[in-house]
Each structure stands twice: as C-alpha cells, then as structure tokens.
Amino acid sequence: MKPTVFWVVVVAAGVLACSALAAPVVLSSAKVGGGNTSVVACDTDGFTPSYTTSRGNVTAVTVGGIASPACGGGSLRVTVTNTSGASIATGGPQTIPAGSTSVAVSLSPQPAASQVAGVEIIVEGP
C-alpha cells in the first residue's frame, strides 16, 4: 500500500470513529408538548391559614376553610415566604381527608416567626 493511500484510510477511519462518538444518544422517547387549558378550582372562596409555633419558630401551617367534599382527596402543599416573597419553608404534600375543612401541614425547615410574611397554598387534584 502506498503511504498516501495508507494515510487517507487512517484519516477516514478516524473521522468515522469521531462521528460515531459524537452521534446523539436517545435516552427516552418521551415527547414534550405545550398548551393551556382551564383548571377548575376545588375551592373558590379561598383558604384561611393559621400558624403553629414552638419556641419562636413556625412548625406548621393549618389551612382552614377548605371546601368539602370538593377538595377531599386532593394533595395540599404550602410554601412560607419572607417579605421579599422568597420561600423560607415548605410543607406537604398532605392528603386532604374526605369531609375535612382544615388540614395541618408540617414545615421544613421551621423558620423564626419573625421571618414569616406570607404563605402560598396549593391543592393538586382531586
């Protein structure tokens, strides 16, 4: 084999090997989609949060005013925020028992009561 032909074969083999290594790897066949749809609320008149404290820290948020049975079986999550609106503690998911109008959700971490400025309440489902 002539040296020129040898180097052409070596370079071609190297290009093919690099192309094979750079080929994309498909890990999943899941599809991504977008759109919007209306979501019906299980409770239209809002919730009434109250806080449980221990030694100056908020340990739980009790969410009251839950519409029953519309929200029963739903999953309740809370996020406690500071004056900037940043999350400082979260709780849940906590299942709303059928017939319940209030549910206590434990928080982690347990922030100082002086840091708490608001709470975001989310019900997923039922």
Each domain of the chain, given as residue ranges in start order, spans: 48-124
pLDDT on residue 30? 55
Answer yes or no: is pLDDT of 98 > 50: yes
Q: Is the pTM of this model over 0.85?
A: no
For residue 122, the one-letter residue type is I
pLDDT on residue 126? 79
Q: What is the mean pLDDT of residues 23-36?
A: 54
CA distance 106 to 77: 10
For the chain, give the percent of residues with pLDDT over 70. 69
DSSP 8-state code for residue 122 = E
